[in-house]
A and B are shown apart, each in its own frame.
Chain A
Amino acid sequence: MKHLLVILAGLLFTSIVSAEEIAPDALVRNVSNDVLDIVRKDKDIQSGNMRKIVELAEAKVLPHFNFTHMTTLAVGKDWRKATPEQQKSLIDEFRTLLVRTYSKALIEYRDQTIDYKPLKMQPTDTDVLVRTAVNQPGGKPIQIDYNIEKTDQSWKVYDISVAGVSLVTNYRSSFAQEVSTKGIDGLIASLRTKNKSGDASAAAAHQ
């Protein structure tokens, strides 16, 4: 019994340590390296097999994203007007849109190398900015930054900006316009249509 307690305590301790050990900058670096390694080796992905890329993103990247926070940021002040069901649909559809965009970016930028800037962070910080520069062969580097927050379980990304453009808040104005003309359900419908058209063109491209 005593042994068991020691083992349990040991397990608990190691799991806490391992969760604490992944600092936000290491998180970005590990995930980027893992994903780019896979993309560079996989011929299907390189030829644009969207389904496979999305699977890769789902498995490796998405667990580290806080989609609820991302969606509230993109929807802005209209978020509170949405019913819980509408909020769920918004999160689902926006998640799909971001995953598709992210996957597309993975294919387009697969040959690039990434420089990680040193992270300035206090031990008490719960919201940090991890800065990277993506070097394109034959072109100028692109600045890509990750806003990462500490949640109950781990650090999670809630915004990504490319050359100073937030991929999340960039939708705020057009989402607000959709809501003002067609309501929350109108915005959900537009997102759904957009995601469906992406499916169709991806299927066509794959054939």
Chain B
Amino acid sequence: MKRGAVAVGKRVATAVLALAAAGLQGGCATAGDARDPIEGFNRAVFAFNDGVDRALIRPVAKGYETVLPVPVRAGVSNFFGNLADPVIAVNSLLQGKPADAVGDAARFIFNSTFGMLGIFDVATDMGLEKHDEDFGQTFGRWGAEPGAYLVVPIYGPRDVRDAAGLALNVMADPVGNVGHVPTRNTLTAVRLVSDRAELLPADKIIEEAALDKYSYMRDAYLQHRRSQVFDGRPPREPDAD
């Protein structure tokens, strides 16, 4: 088991090095966006991630969507959403929103019990709104700038601020802290597929909308995160005149 992990680790390291080399070669070719100083590298990782998505993740997510009826998929989505609520509560608190934090904690308590381990989102029906917070947003709320845009292998688009947040999110993730390895791996995979399935309708829209998928996704990611830091009400960016 351990040896297998080392072999996989080596393969990943080789792939990352190859990507880095590709990135360095491509880096100078594009007259780029100031927010994306390592665009060449990012484009290489983006292509790699897109390949993995097309070959593996998207087909599985499509199968998942075809096979499972809506109530089951809703239950899975709610289950993982519930597991995230304690970390959301911590971040609400860190962002100076104690009332939200209490609501998030109450959601977790009600959904874990009356909601049968979170499969049913009874808290929303009780009027406890679901929030969406993470450490990257907390850093943003504290005034950290997003920094350079990064595409992380498998995890996808991030910026420097969110990459730092991602490390804390991963450490605080209840699924990642499950001691029983097969259970942890299964939960991680199911969550990935469930999250991906929710994004399937967006695929075709992005294909239709984007002149260049890489920059479309980049700009959408940066806008989306900016909006999240402001809880969905960002000040409108100044219109260029």
Contacts and interface: CB of A to CB of B under 8 A. Distances in A.
Interface stretch (B49-57, B112-120, B216-224): B216-224
B77 interface: yes
> B-side binding surface: helix, strand, loop or mixed?
helix
B205 interface: yes
A165 interface: yes
User: B interface, how many residues as a size bin?
Assistant: 35 or more
B237 interface: yes
Interface residues of A, number: 40
A173 B234 CA distance: 19
A194 B241 CA distance: 26
A174 B219 contact: yes
A97 to B, nearest CB: 7
Contacts of B32: 177
Interface string B28-64: 0001110000000000000000000000000000000
A157 interface: no
A140 B81 contact: yes
Closest 9 CB pairs of A and B: A164-B227, A138-B73, A76-B240, A108-B201, A139-B198, A101-B209, A77-B240, A138-B74, A138-B70
Interface of B: 31-33, 70-74, 77, 81, 130, 197-198, 201-202, 204-205, 208-209, 211-212, 215-216, 218-220, 223-224, 226-228, 232, 234, 236-237, 239-241
Interface of A: 72-73, 76-77, 79-80, 97, 100-101, 104-105, 108-109, 136-140, 143, 147, 161, 163-167, 169-174, 177-178, 180-181, 190-191, 194, 198
26 contacts: A73-B239, A76-B239, A76-B240, A77-B240, A79-B240, A108-B202, A108-B204, A108-B205, A109-B201, A136-B201, A138-B71, A138-B72, A139-B73, A139-B77, A139-B197, A140-B198, A164-B224, A165-B220, A167-B209, A169-B223, A172-B219, A173-B219, A174-B211, A174-B215, A174-B216, A194-B211
